Amino acid sequence: MQLENSFQVGAPPERVFGYLLDVNKVVGCVPGAELTEVVDASTFKGKVKVKVGPISVAYNGTARISERSESERTATLTAEGRETTGQGTARATAHMTVEPAGDGSTVRIVTDYHVAGRVASFGRGVMEDVSPPDNPSGGATANSSPPSTQPASAQPINAFGLFLHLISLRLQRLFGRRGSDTRG
């Protein structure tokens, strides 16, 4: 499955790019995530607990910054994890770009992910596209793509989209908001 997210932040692109690649800061944005080891400057080990519908799953895994361009402010993060109590796995590749936008920045993240095990057997419907609701102050939200065909009342929360939404909210709080809604 692929998610496409973008949000605006009221800070210079270099500062936002640096923040997003600082795993110690980003892990604090994600409820249930814990950094367990910094292997080297681009490889990290950690744990994350997620709840998808009625199922709670914990993963141990490794993330790597596999590509990085300071001059273009682009990076690719690859991650793999295994369920701590089952046979399930999760893999993701996220391509991130930070671009100037007026006095601030626009962050674009395209994530390809695959989940196998209990979460996958529960059904793709729980993992499929939703967008976290607009926040009340009119700030940017994360979007997933393509749009869901389910009625709004039946949409489950997408754990990966929510993760990116939480990061965007944290950045907005730290650096200030720009724009209103980035839905495309």
182 within some domain: no
Structural domain including 44 reads: 2-175
Q: How many CB atoms lie within 10 A of CB 170?
A: 17
User: How much of the chain exceeds pLDDT 70, in percent?
Assistant: 66
- Assign residue 154 the CATH number of its domain: 3.30.530.20
181 within some domain: no
Provide the token pair at 76.
């690719």
Half-sphere exposure of 61 (CA within 13 A, CB side): 20
pLDDT digits (tens, 9 = 90+) for 50-69: 877 777 889 999 999 999 99
What's the pLDDT at 69? Answer: 96
Q: Are 88 and 116 a contacting pair, CB within 8 Å?
A: yes
Counted residue by residue, the chain has a size of 184
108 within some domain: yes
184 within some domain: no
Instruction: State the residue for tokens 């994530």.
Output: 111
State the Cα–Cα distance between residues 66 and 51, nearest whole angstrom.
28
State the Cα–Cα distance between residues 47 and 105, nearest whole angstrom.
30
Amino acid, res. 106 = T
Q: Please, what's the b/e burial string for 75-92 (b: 16 or more CB within 10 A of its CB; e: otherwise)?
A: bebebbbbbeeeebbbeb
- Residues 6 or more apart whose Cβ sits within 8 Å of residue 154: none
pLDDT digits (tens, 9 = 90+) for 79-129: 999 999 988 898 989 999 999 999 999 999 998 988 888 777 765 555 554
Domain count, the chain: 1
183 within some domain: no
